């Protein structure tokens, strides 16, 4: 990925210079190790601020929508799938966005890396598949492959599905024997075991809604938890209210989630929010043969009716 | 003010002694990180933690707190009359908090305990609490407390300040509340005042040397408020923001809250919950009008409140203690140090 | 939705879906009977019930 940033900057500079787009949306280097920040670049000089590395874990699709004028966006596999979803859901017109696709080798799991150190991480560098991470007391060399985010480990769409130009060579897609080992693990528990699992999962949720706000498909003008007249969900730390938020948010993502992992990336408490949406992704695949965001000509399964839709749950 | 030594072998016993008369709060680690919570009787505070994701503000200001209750049963006397909830304000001690969290409580106090109004829930909890701090010998990379009038061994707001000396704690007992708590633990081995103070000074200087970042806020006071408000840089600051509430919830000095009424069957209660200026709902009027309807207005509000309005209103420095939690937890890495610098160096162009 | 609730540990038999025309009175009775029996067998629900205070 180190080489693709040069290409990204060249492409961005060229697009801005030619006036093809007004802004390029990408990532800028953060002020602390393992952090990047979405940025909008409007001038040719600004393109040097663009970076692309294994810590660009957020999803930029939401930053592309509701922009004035034509924009370019730097999009890895999952970002592209969410741009497709935005186009299908009329949040974005295809001709409004110029997609600089970046074949992706996965993003690193910041919590997993942080857990290796007793103290805070002060340095992070990557060279191909090798990560060098340091704190004030020690430096570790890690293999990137072993510290990928869980969604990246299970990703089968590393390459952009929709793009105007590619900033790097396509990478080999992995074929998984089982795409949902994490869901299977939960499904294997008994009913109370599952209840306890989810109870523990959300016990530290502070309802900051970072998961929702980082989510590229959570773009409702007013989220159901923010409905105030009348109010739909209690707003306190009551466990049932917290779980209602997670459950309903997940359900609203049914058949739309691309498992980009932005929710987990954003959560300050390190909650694996994906445990909710993953089950729905599995169902979407098994019941409808559907993976979100692969084709701009197809409506998501819960958005369309087909006589073949499974209906055995209806008496 | 006096110094005492606490052998770590006596620590657990002393803490357990104090449980007879105090409810204890302290840092506890679980799979999601470290936070400062009420300790069950078999749980000891984790005195080796590096930083907690959430601050100690919840000890006095829980994320959800019942403040008033009433009965809706019309056969009961005083039905539908809201009365103060029976919360527990017996003595409590919070152990091992960071000096910046204690300083933050002092800043929050400026808001909750003013000449005109005394906010009873927070103030009663405050008065019931003894703050036992732990000096930071190895400050993290996000700590910029020294440049905002705090520091790794700052005593402000603390009743006892501990220094970790491997096999023992050296305690600087700062207030009568602190003395009472030490007595409740049975910690009474005196240490030489002069030597101990010298040791604290050395530790403080060593720790301060390790604070790698700073922020300059010296010009903020004389900056024109409206100039800053109208400054062109806010769009850039706000671009990346996803408007979650992480920064405000992890912040030890953010005190904003929302009031909610809930009822079940014949019982009703009024709660207060943490709220966040990042949320559009925070300022939306009943009419539907929202004076801070755009993201950029909300982001500006957070920084202007912390770094300008608060400074102008109370003249007690900025509303930030330099703990760096928001810098670390922000999903899009909006860095208050950078924003403070931008504001501090901003010159309006005519 | 039933699947996700079940996944989260809510018993499958607590959630039922049906489509009954206003002309299908007997089907309505049958479905309600079946639901009542299944839910009764599970006993009182304690999940997703808001505890107050």
The tens digit of pLDDT for each residue in B4-31 reads: 999 999 999 999 999 999 999 999 998 8
Chain A residue numbers with beta carbons less than 8 Å from the beta carbon of C43 are none
Is pLDDT above 80 for A271? yes
Query: Residue B190 domain-assigned?
Result: yes
pLDDT, averaged across chain A: 93
Chain C residue numbers with beta carbons less than 8 Å from the beta carbon of A239 are 51
Distance from CA of A217 to the nearest CA of B (A): 13
Q: Which band of pLDDT confidence, cut at 50, 70 and 90, is reported for residue B32?
A: confident
User: Across the interface, do B245 and A271 touch by the CB < 8 Å criterion?
Assistant: no
Residue whose tokens read 């598949």: A129
According to DSSP, the residues that pair with A76 across neighbouring strands are: A102
Is pLDDT above 60 for B55? yes
The kind and range of the H/E element at B178 are helix B176-185
Buried b vs exposed e over A301-314: b needs ≥16 C-beta within 10 Å?
bbeeeeeeeeeeee
The three-state DSSP-derived secondary structure of chain A is CHHHHHHHHHHHHHHHHCCCCCEEEEEEECCCCCCEEEEEECCHHHHHHEECCCCCCCCCHHHHCCCCCCEEEEEEHHHHHHHHHHHHCCCCCHHHEEEEEECCCCCECHHHHHCCCCCCEEEEEEECCEEEEEECCCEEEEEHHHHECHHHHCCCCCCCCCCCEECCCCCCCCCCCCCCHHHHHHHCCCHHHHHHHHHHHCCCCCCCCHHHHHCCCCCCCCCHHHCECCECCCCCCCHHHHHHHHHHHHHHCCCCCCCCCHHHHHCCCCCCCHHHHHHHHHHHHHHHCCCCCCCCCCCCHHHCCCCCCCCCCEC
Q: Which two tokens stand for residue A228?
A: 């105030």
Do B159 and B229 belong together in one domain? Answer: no
Query: Residue B350 domain-assigned?
Result: no
Q: Does residue A88 have a cis peptide bond before it, meaning omega lies within 30 degrees of 0?
A: no
Q: Which band of pLDDT confidence, cut at 50, 70 and 90, is reported for residue A140?
A: very high
Q: How many CB pairs under 8 A join A and B?
A: 117
User: What percent of chain A stands above pLDDT 70?
Assistant: 99
Is pLDDT above 70 for A117? yes
Q: Which band of pLDDT confidence, cut at 50, 70 and 90, is reported for residue B235?
A: very high
User: Across the interface, do C51 and A240 touch by the CB < 8 Å criterion?
Assistant: yes
Distance from CA of A315 to the nearest CA of C (A): 5
pLDDT, averaged across chain B: 94
Is pLDDT above 70 for A1? no
Give the total residue count for chain B.
350
Chain B residue numbers with beta carbons less than 8 Å from the beta carbon of A238 are 64
Do B75 and B204 belong together in one domain? Answer: yes
Is pLDDT above 60 for C9? yes
Distance in angstroms (rounded) separating the CA atoms of residues A219 and A213: 8
Of B190, B209, B228, the domain-final residue: B209
Between the CA of residue B338 and those of A45, A60, B214, B335, B344, what are the distances in Å? 21, 23, 10, 5, 10
Tell whether B224 lies on the interface with A, counting CB pairs under 8 A: no
Q: Measure CB to CB from residue A194 to each of C1, C2, C8 and give the nearest one.
A: C8
According to DSSP, the residues that pair with A24 across neighbouring strands are: A41, A72
Do B171 and B228 belong together in one domain? Answer: no
Is pLDDT above 70 for A2? no
Domain residue spans in chain C? Answer: 17-44
Chain B residue numbers with beta carbons less than 8 Å from the beta carbon of C50 are 264
Tell whether C53 lies on the interface with A, counting CB pairs under 8 A: no
* Residues 11-70 (B) with a CB less than 8 A from some CB of C: 66
Contacts 24+ apart (CB under 8 A), C32-35: C34/A315
Tell whether A142 lies on the interface with C, counting CB pairs under 8 A: no
According to DSSP, the residues that pair with B37 across neighbouring strands are: B26
Is pLDDT above 90 for A241? yes
Task: Check residue A3 and give its pLDDT.
Answer: 72
Tell whether B206 lies on the interface with A, counting CB pairs under 8 A: no
Q: Measure CB to CB from residue C50 to each of A187, A240, A279 and give the nearest one.
A: A240
Interval B297-304 mean pLDDT: 97
Tell whether A285 lies on the interface with C, counting CB pairs under 8 A: no
Is pLDDT above 90 for B110? yes
Interval A243-265 mean pLDDT: 95
Task: Check residue C46 and give its pLDDT.
Answer: 87
Distance from CA of C44 to the nearest CA of B (A): 18
Task: Check residue B212 and give its pLDDT.
Answer: 86
Tell whether A232 lies on the interface with C, counting CB pairs under 8 A: no
Give this complex's ipTM.
0.92
Q: What is the pTM of this model?
A: 0.94
Distance from CA of B122 to the nearest CA of A (A): 18
Residues 6+ apart with CB under 8 A from A295: A84, A161
Chain A residue numbers with beta carbons less than 8 Å from the beta carbon of C7 are 183, 186-187, 194, 279
Distance from CA of B266 to the nearest CA of C (A): 11
Chain C residue numbers with beta carbons less than 8 Å from the beta carbon of B269 are 52-53
Chain A residue numbers with beta carbons less than 8 Å from the beta carbon of B276 are 208
- Using alpha carbons only, what angle is made at residue A69 by residues A65 and A73, rounded to the nearest 5 degrees? 50
User: Across the interface, do C9 and A194 touch by the CB < 8 Å criterion?
Assistant: yes
Tell whether A247 lies on the interface with C, counting CB pairs under 8 A: yes
Q: Which two tokens stand for residue B31?
A: 């799979």
Distance in angstroms (rounded) separating the CA atoms of residues B73 and B88: 25
pLDDT in tens, B147-205: 999 999 999 999 999 999 999 999 999 999 999 999 999 999 999 999 999 999 999 99
Task: Check residue A185 and give its pLDDT.
Answer: 96
Give which of C6, C9, C18, C29 to mutate to test A binding, by max A Cβ within 10 Å.
C9
Tell whether B328 lies on the interface with A, counting CB pairs under 8 A: yes
User: Across the interface, do A210 and B242 touch by the CB < 8 Å criterion?
Assistant: yes
Is pLDDT above 60 for B219? yes
Distance in angstroms (rounded) separating the CA atoms of residues A125 and A54: 10
Query: Residue B349 domain-assigned?
Result: no
Task: Check residue B51 and give its pLDDT.
Answer: 84
Domain region containing B237: 220-344
Q: Which band of pLDDT confidence, cut at 50, 70 and 90, is reported for residue B318?
A: very high
Is pLDDT above 90 for A253? yes
Interval B54-63 mean pLDDT: 95
Is pLDDT above 60 for A247? yes
User: Across the interface, do C2 and A313 touch by the CB < 8 Å criterion?
Assistant: yes
Q: Which band of pLDDT confidence, cut at 50, 70 and 90, is reported for residue C52?
A: low
Q: Phi, psi at residue B219, to the nearest 5°?
A: -90, -10
Tell whether B71 lies on the interface with C, counting CB pairs under 8 A: no
Give which of B27, B28, B30, B32 to mutate to test A binding, by max A Cβ within 10 Å.
B32
Distance from CA of A123 to the nearest CA of C (A): 39
Interval B277-281 mean pLDDT: 94
Interval A55-63 mean pLDDT: 94
Do B256 and B116 belong together in one domain? Answer: no
Distance in angstroms (rounded) separating the CA atoms of residues C30 and C25: 9
Task: Check residue B335 and give its pLDDT.
Answer: 96
pLDDT in tens, A82-115: 999 999 999 999 999 999 999 999 999 999 999 9
Chain A residue numbers with beta carbons less than 8 Å from the beta carbon of B337 are 31
pLDDT in tens, A186-228: 999 999 999 999 999 999 999 999 999 999 999 999 999 999 8
Q: Which residue in C has a C-alpha nearest to residue A243's C-alpha?
A: C48
User: Across the interface, do B242 and A226 touch by the CB < 8 Å criterion?
Assistant: no
Is pLDDT above 90 for B349? no
* Residues 47-76 (B) with a CB less than 8 A from some CB of A: 50-51, 53-54, 62-64
Q: Which residue in B has a C-alpha nearest to residue C51's C-alpha?
A: B264
Chain C residues with CB under 8 Å of a chain B CB are 50, 52-53
Do B198 and B312 belong together in one domain? Answer: no
């Amino acid at each position: 990925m180190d080489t693709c940033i040069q290409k990204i900057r060249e492409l961005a500079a060229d697009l801005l210079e030619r006036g093809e787009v007004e802004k390029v949306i990408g990532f800028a280097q953060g002020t602390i190790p393992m952090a990047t920040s979405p940025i909008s670049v409007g001038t040719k000089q600004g393109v040097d601020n663009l970076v692309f590395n294994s810590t660009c874990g957020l999803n930029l699709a939401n930053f592309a929508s509701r922009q004035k004028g034509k924009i370019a966006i730097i999009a890895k596999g999952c970002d592209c799938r969410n741009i497709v979803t935005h186009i299908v859901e009329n949040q974005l017109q295809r001709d409004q966005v110029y997609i600089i696709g970046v074949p992706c080798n996965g993003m690193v799991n910041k919590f997993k890396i942080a857990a290796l150190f007793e103290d805070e991480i002060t340095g992070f560098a990557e060279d191909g598949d090798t990560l060098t991470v340091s704190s004030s007391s020690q430096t570790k060399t890690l293999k990137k492959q072993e510290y990928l985010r869980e969604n990246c480990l299970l990703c089968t769409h590393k390459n952009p599905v929709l793009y105007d130009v590619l900033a790097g060579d396509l990478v080999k897609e992995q074929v998984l024997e089982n795409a949902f080992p994490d869901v299977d693990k939960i499904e294997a528990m008994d009913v109370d075991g599952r209840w306890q699992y989810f109870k523990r999962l959300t016990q530290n949720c502070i309802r900051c809604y970072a998961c929702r706000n980082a989510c590229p498909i959570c773009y409702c003008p007013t989220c159901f938890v923010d409905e105030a007249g009348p109010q739909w969900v209690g707003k306190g730390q009551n466990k049932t209210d917290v779980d209602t938020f997670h459950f309903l948010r997940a359900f609203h993502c049914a058949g739309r989630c691309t498992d980009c992992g932005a929710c987990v990336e954003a959560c300050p408490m390190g909650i694996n929010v994906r445990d909710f949406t993953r089950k729905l992704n599995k169902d979407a695949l098994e019941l409808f043969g559907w993976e979100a965001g692969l084709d701009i000509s197809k409506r998501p399964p819960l958005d369309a009716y087909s006589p073949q839709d499974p209906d055995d749950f209806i008496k | 003010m006096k110094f005492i030594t606490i052998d770590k072998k006596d620590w657990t016993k002393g803490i357990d002694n104090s449980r007879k008369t105090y409810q204890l709060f302290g840092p506890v680690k679980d799979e999601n990180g470290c936070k400062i919570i009420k300790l069950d009787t078999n749980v000891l505070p984790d005195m080796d933690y590096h930083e907690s994701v959430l601050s100690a503000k919840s000890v006095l200001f829980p994320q959800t707190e019942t403040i008033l209750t009433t009965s809706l049963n019309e056969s009961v006397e005083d039905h539908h009359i809201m009365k103060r909830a029976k919360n527990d304000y017996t003595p409590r001690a919070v152990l091992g908090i960071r000096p910046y969290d204690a300083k933050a409580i002092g800043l929050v106090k400026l808001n909750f305990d003013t000449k005109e109004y005394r906010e009873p829930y927070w103030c009663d909890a405050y008065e019931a609490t003894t703050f036992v701090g732990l000096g930071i010998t190895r400050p993290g990379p996000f700590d910029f407390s020294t440049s905002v009038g705090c520091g790794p061994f700052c005593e402000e707001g603390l009743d006892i300040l501990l220094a970790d000396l491997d096999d023992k704690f050296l305690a600087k007992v700062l207030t009568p509340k602190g003395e009472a708590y030490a007595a409740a633990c049975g910690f009474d081995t005196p240490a030489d005042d002069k030597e101990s103070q010298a040791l604290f000074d050395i530790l403080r200087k060593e720790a301060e040397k390790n604070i790698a970042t700073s922020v300059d806020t010296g010009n903020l006071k004389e900056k024109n408020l409206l100039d800053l408000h109208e400054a062109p840089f806010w769009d850039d600051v706000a671009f990346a923001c996803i408007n979650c509430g992480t920064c405000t919830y992890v912040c030890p000095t953010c005190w904003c809250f929302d009031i909610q009424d809930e009822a079940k069957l014949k019982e009703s209660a009024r709660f207060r919950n943490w709220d966040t200026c990042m949320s559009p709902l925070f300022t939306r009027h009943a009419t539907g009008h929202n004076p801070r309807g755009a993201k950029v207005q909300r982001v500006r509000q957070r920084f202007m409140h912390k770094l300008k309005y608060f400074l102008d209103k109370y003249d007690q420095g900025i509303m930030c203690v330099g703990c760096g939690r928001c810098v670390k937890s922000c999903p899009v890495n909006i860095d208050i140090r950078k924003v403070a610098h931008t504001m501090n160096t901003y010159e309006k162009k005519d | 939705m039933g699947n996700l609730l079940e996944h989260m540990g809510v018993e499958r038999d607590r959630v039922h879906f049906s489509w009954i025309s206003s002309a299908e009175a007997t089907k309505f009775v049958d479905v309600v009977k079946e639901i009542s029996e299944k839910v009764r067998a599970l006993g009182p629900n304690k999940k997703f019930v808001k505890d107050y205070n």
